[in-house]
């Protein structure tokens, strides 16, 4: 590809989840012959199995390709993919920092949703040129005119000039490419300035060490240059440069405005920080590029290997994963019940889920995750304050003056007929009403302040089910407020199981306690001897259920032809038991530790 800075266009596609972003990316890659039909798998940029299976984008990915525009010129496009889920806002902002423009995809059968707004604001924050696109126009339920009006009225963009496409059939996708050429500016900066390259992602490769994805904002870089990471101040020799199409193509140098990758025999993953700026040792830039908004994890969970001998493997896996996923934080912790493990911080529940699945699949680990918790601030009687991300570490009550918990500002967009239902839900979740406004003729935006712990505790599922999936949610951390909180412990056979402790809102305590012990009774299989399960708040038992003992499990018939089958059955059960955690004399399955999350009030005794 021939370098001409004025012919480079770097852009992201942003959208609410399920609005067709990845399918549109597929069509663009196809149309520009980046990927031939033969190589085409659905959603090519979603390279993780997990992404394809779930139909979501988790990790950003990039592709560089050529486009022969109608003006007779050949342009170089850098497409930087973004995730659509609320948990991954941080990833979106990282992608956007490497772009000059954004294609904002809106499902024309759904219209503007909460995440459409949130992602558009991110693009505006990054000074990007935004091209609105209405997708799914091939569907009968498409409402193009309504959506155009929404774009004009609600997003402040030019709705009349939105590109109407069907990513599925490919209809009119070419128009988007033309608009990218005409509307999105070429990257600014100059090859003559000192190097400033933004690291917007990185991953670990066992042969080449850390591979950093970079955008050259100023200057140029060559293989053989000695570079410096401005934040960590480490220096490395550049051993390889290239672009991703998405397949890697090596090149000797990267120039101003280009997007590519860099290797430098960097063995320690801690040396590379996403958001850092790379410069040349010989001619360093005066200052680094503005980094990213440093995002803090919102929910914390204990992650333990089921087999305690796999602790080191887990540590290794978390380090490699966190390189690729800088929003994942972790530190070692010990649990009496679960042994050695890590307290990990996640952006949200989906993020937590994704990390768990990646650890289990890509690193072949068998994990126990404890129920997620938020960070509480505990004010002690001596005037000091501690941050608490693990409920079992709650200090002795006599030393606690008050406990504060994080609240989020939640914006819920909903068809107006569900407003009453949602208000009831928010009140049940201890929400504080802020505002209610019309979005358009049929939809409203409800604003509440809600404790984050309640959002984690099945708020999203409840919201979806009570609005038949029509409401969408966006939230951001607001502040901490003092709440009437207490620690709830769970006792098995009379012993406190630290991994099952949680912080609860006291007035909800009795109900939560009762449902939790019932739930545990359900998920913990019968044991050889009866086991009492108790919930205790501040040391006082408030609920109890008994896990029954096994009463009959012997196979009725076992003759000549049954023996092999019976032995295999026992062998299978034996393997199943290995996946359980032995706590004292009780065998506890992995999902018991998460059962606090899925408490529904209607569990039968």
Kindly state the smallest distance separating residue 365's Cβ from another protein, in Å.
22
For another protein, give the closer residue by CB, 252 or 530. Answer: 530
Stretch of 57-65, 260-268, 363-371, 547-555 lying at the interface with another protein (CB under 8 A)? 547-555
249 HSE (CA, 13 A, CB side): 12
What is the spatial distance between Cα 253 and Cα 221, in angstroms, rounded to a whole number?
Answer: 5
In whole angstroms, how close is the CB of 367 to another protein at the nearest point?
21
**Does position 563 bind another protein by CB under 8 A?**
yes
Query: Which C-beta is closer to another protein: that of 237 or that of 555?
Result: 555
By CB under 8 A, the count of residues binding another protein is 26
Longest dimension (CA), the chain: 86
Q: Which of 72, 192, 559, 601 binds another protein (CB under 8 A)?
A: 559
Helical packing angle, 419-428 and 459-466, nearest 10°: 160
- The single residue among 401, 573, 584, 591 that binds another protein, judged by CB under 8 A, is 573
- The verdict on 591 binding another protein (CB under 8 A) reads no
Instruction: Give the one residue of 427, 550, 584, 600 binding another protein; rule: CB under 8 A.
Output: 550
Strands (DSSP E) found in 264-328? 277-280, 299-305
**Contact call for residue 604 and another protein (CB under 8 A):** no
Residue 224 CB neighbours (<10 A):
11
Minimum distance from CB of 583 to another protein (Å)? Answer: 15
Nearer to another protein, 63 or 583 (CB): 583
Among 139, 237, 558, 579, binds another protein (CB under 8 A): 558
Q: Please report whether residue 557 would count as binding another protein according to CB under 8 A.
A: yes
Beta bridge partners of 210: 204
Least distance in Å: CB of 589 to another protein?
14
C-alpha to C-alpha distances, 253 to 217, 221, 260, nearest whole angstrom = 14, 5, 10
Alpha helices in 475-527 (DSSP H): 509-523
Name the residue nearer to another protein (CB basis): 2 or 551: 551
Residue closer to another protein, measured from CB, 506 or 526: 526
Sole binder of another protein in the list 252, 283, 555, 591 (CB under 8 A): 555
Q: Which stretch binds another protein (CB under 8 A): 33-41, 467-475, 483-491, 567-575?
A: 567-575
CB of 554 to another protein, least distance (A): 4
Q: Does 561 bind another protein (CB under 8 A)?
A: yes
Distance of closest approach, residue 560 Cβ to another protein, in angstroms = 5
Q: Choose the binding region for another protein from 211-219, 374-382, 462-470, 555-563 (rule: CB under 8 A).
A: 555-563
Burial class (CB in 10 A: 0-12, 13-18, 19+), 317: buried
Cis peptide before 246 (omega within 30 of 0): yes
526 binds another protein (CB under 8 A): yes
Q: Does 579 bind another protein (CB under 8 A)?
A: no
Residue with Cβ nearer another protein (438 or 529): 529
Q: Which residue among 140, 560, 601, 602 contacts another protein (CB under 8 A)?
A: 560
Binding range to another protein, per CB under 8 A, among 100-108, 285-293, 331-339, 524-532: 524-532
The one among 556, 602, 604, 605 contacting another protein by CB under 8 A: 556
Q: Determine, following the binding rule CB under 8 A, whether residue 566 of this chain makes contact with another protein.
A: yes
Location of structure tokens 């997007």: 259
DSSP string covering 442-453:
SEEEEEEEEEHH
CB atoms within 10 A of CB 163: 20
CA angle 96, 98, 99 (to 5 degrees): 65
Least CB distance from residue 500 to another protein, whole Å? 23
In the complex with another protein, the residue whose CB is nearer, 207 or 559, is 559
Q: Which stretch binds another protein (CB under 8 A): 244-252, 320-328, 336-344, 560-568?
A: 560-568
| Spatial CB neighbours of 301, under 8 Å, sequence gap ≥ 6 | 343, 344, 346, 352, 369, 370, 371, 372, 373
Stretch that binds another protein, among 223-231, 378-386, 401-409, 523-531 (CB under 8 A): 523-531
Q: Which of 364, 567, 584, 591 binds another protein (CB under 8 A)?
A: 567
Beta strands 101-107; 8-15: pairing state: parallel
> Residue 56 has which token pair?
């979501």
Residue 182 burial (CB count, 10 A): 11
249 binds another protein (CB under 8 A): no
Asked if 551 interacts with another protein (CB under 8 A), we say: yes
The strand order across the sheet containing 8-15 reads 62-68, 74-80, 8-15, 101-107, 129-135, 163-164
**Residue whose CB is less far from another protein, 386 or 570:** 570
213, 200 contact by CB (below 8 A)? yes
Contact 345, 299 (CB under 8 A): yes
DSSP annotation of 289 reads P
Extract the runs of DSSP E, i.e. beta strands, from 129-252.
129-135, 163-164, 196-205, 209-218, 221-222, 226-229, 235-237, 240-244, 248-251
Is 372 within 8 Å of 301 (Cβ atoms)?
yes
361 binding another protein? (CB under 8 A): no
Spatial separation of the C-alpha atoms in residues 446 and 16, rounded to whole Å: 18
Least Å from the CB of residue 561 to another protein: 4
Residue 351 and residue 300: Cα distance in Å, rounded?
11
Least distance CB 234 / another protein (angstroms): 48
Give the binding range for another protein (CB under 8 A) out of 225-233, 286-294, 394-402, 525-533.
525-533
Please give the backbone phi and psi of residue 240, each rounded to the nearest 5 degrees, phi first: -155, 140
507 lies in the binding site for another protein (CB under 8 A): no
- Considering the rule CB under 8 A, would residue 309 count as an interface residue with another protein? no
Q: Which residues of the chain form contacts with another protein (CB under 8 A)?
A: 526, 528-529, 548-561, 563-564, 566-567, 570-571, 573-574, 577
């Amino acid at each position: 590809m021939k370098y001409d800075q004025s012919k480079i266009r770097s852009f992201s596609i942003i959208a609410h989840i399920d609005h067709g972003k990845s399918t549109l990316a597929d069509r663009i890659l196809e149309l520009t012959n980046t990927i031939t039909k033969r190589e085409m798998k659905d959603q090519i940029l979603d390279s993780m199995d997990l992404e394809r299976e779930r139909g979501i984008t988790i990790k950003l990915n990039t592709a560089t390709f050529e486009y022969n525009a109608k003006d007779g010129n050949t342009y170089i496009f850098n497409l930087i993919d973004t995730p659509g889920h609320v948990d991954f806002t941080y990833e979106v902002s990282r992608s956007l920092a490497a772009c000059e423009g954004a294609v904002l995809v809106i499902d024309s059968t759904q219209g503007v949703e909460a995440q459409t707004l949130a992602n558009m604001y991110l693009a505006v924050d990054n000074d990007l040129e935004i091209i609105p696109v209405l997708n799914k126009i091939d569907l009968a339920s498409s409402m193009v005119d309504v959506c155009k009006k929404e774009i004009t009225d609600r997003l402040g963009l030019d709705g009349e000039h939105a590109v109407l496409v069907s990513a599925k059939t490919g209809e009119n996708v070419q128009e988007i490419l033309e608009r990218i050429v005409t509307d999105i500016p070429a990257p600014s900066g100059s090859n003559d300035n000192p190097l400033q390259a933004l690291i917007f992602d990185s991953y670990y490769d066992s042969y080449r060490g850390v591979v950093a994805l970079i955008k050259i904002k100023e200057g140029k870089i060559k293989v053989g240059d000695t570079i410096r990471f401005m934040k960590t101040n480490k220096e490395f020799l550049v051993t390889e440069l290239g672009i991703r199409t998405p397949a890697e193509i090596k090149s000797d140098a990267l120039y101003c405005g280009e997007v590519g990758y860099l290797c430098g025999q960097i063995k320690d993953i801690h040396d590379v920080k996403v958001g850092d700026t790379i410069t040349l040792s010989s001619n360093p830039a005066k200052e680094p590029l503005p980094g990213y908004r440093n995002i803090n994890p919102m929910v914390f969970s204990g992650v333990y290997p089921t087999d305690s001998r796999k602790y080191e493997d887990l540590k290794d896996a978390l380090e490699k994963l966190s390189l690729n996923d800088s929003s994942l934080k972790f530190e070692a912790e010990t649990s009496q019940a679960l042994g050695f493990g890590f307290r990990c911080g996640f952006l949200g529940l989906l993020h937590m889920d994704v990390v768990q699945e990646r650890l289990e699949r890509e690193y072949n680990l068998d994990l126990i995750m404890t129920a997620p918790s938020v960070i509480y601030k505990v004010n002690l009687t001596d005037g000091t304050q501690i941050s608490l991300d693990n409920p079992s570490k709650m200090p002795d009550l006599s030393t606690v003056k008050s406990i504060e918990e994080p609240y989020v500002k939640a914006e819920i967009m909903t068809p107006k007929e569900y407003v009453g239902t949602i208000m009831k839900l928010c009140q049940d979740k201890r929400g504080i009403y802020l505002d209610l406004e019309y979005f358009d003729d049929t939809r409203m935006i409800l604003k509440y302040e809600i404790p984050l712990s309640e959002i984690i505790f099945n708020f999203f599922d409840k919201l979806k089910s009570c609005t038949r999936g029509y409401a969408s949610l966006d939230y951001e951390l607001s502040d901490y407020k003092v709440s009437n909180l207490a620690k709830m412990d769970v006792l098995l056979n009379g012993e406190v199981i630290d991994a099952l402790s949680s912080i609860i809102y006291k007035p909800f305590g009795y109900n939560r306690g009762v449902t939790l012990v019932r739930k545990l009774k359900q998920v913990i299989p019968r044991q050889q001897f009866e086991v009492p399960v108790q919930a205790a708040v501040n040391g006082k038992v408030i609920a109890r259920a008994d896990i029954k003992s096994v009463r009959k499990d012997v196979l009725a018939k076992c003759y000549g032809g049954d023996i092999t089958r019976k032995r295999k059955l026992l062998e299978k059960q034996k393997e199943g038991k290995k996946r359980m955690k032995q706590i004292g004399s009780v065998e506890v399955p992995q999902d018991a530790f998460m059962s606090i999350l899925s408490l529904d009030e209607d569990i039968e005794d």
